[in-house]
Amino acid sequence: MDLLVVDVAHGHAEAVLRAVRTLRRRFPSVPIVAGNVATAEGTLDLIEAGADAVKVGVGPGSTCTTRVVTGAGVPQLSAILECARAARERGVPIIADGGIRSSGDITKALAAGASAVMLGNLLAGTEESPGATLIRNGRQYKTYRGMASVWATARRRSLDSPVEEEEIGQIVAEGVEALVPYRGKVADVLRQLVGGLRSGMSYCGARTIPELWEKARFVRITPAGLRESLPHDVELL
């Protein structure tokens, strides 16, 4: 066994901590990744329970509605900064899970203290992803379902027992089902993402992720600065 992952939307819960402790006792030599959390306290409690790495992110995903439905969550960059600061004191890495929309977001997540990132939306449109392929208005798309969407929740529940139609109507979803543009082969997408990350690290003078932690500097950006960061004053081809 290479790795065990305890993956729960609210990772700072007693049931999750008990599960991590139990797994640590039963598999003392197997690395355990646990989450998701968005606070220093949640990070430290998972580490204390036995997690070797912590997943950070409550509500940042493109198909996630947790923050709207429940009112709970932390903006992802703020969560990464806080959780990474706490985890680094214990020598434990964090994984930024959710909210990655571009290679630049990967650079920023790592610069904020993450050791790795998880991708959903950016890979959901690839040929290898499990979503169904369909054509709409002459364009090719793939289906993408949030893990807390009605369909995904009903599917998980059906693993234990059949789910009746009226039960489906009672599910309080924290995610949506959507379409994402078809993006081709995953290798081609990853090539672009890695290229952007390498370039971003070079702008900071960093050859490694730990160097990026030390050398990166964040600045506050205004709406005008954001508009300036995107193509402007041109007609795109």
Catalytic residue numbers, as ranges: 64
Asked if 44 and 86 count as a contact pair (C-beta separation under 8 A), the reply is: yes
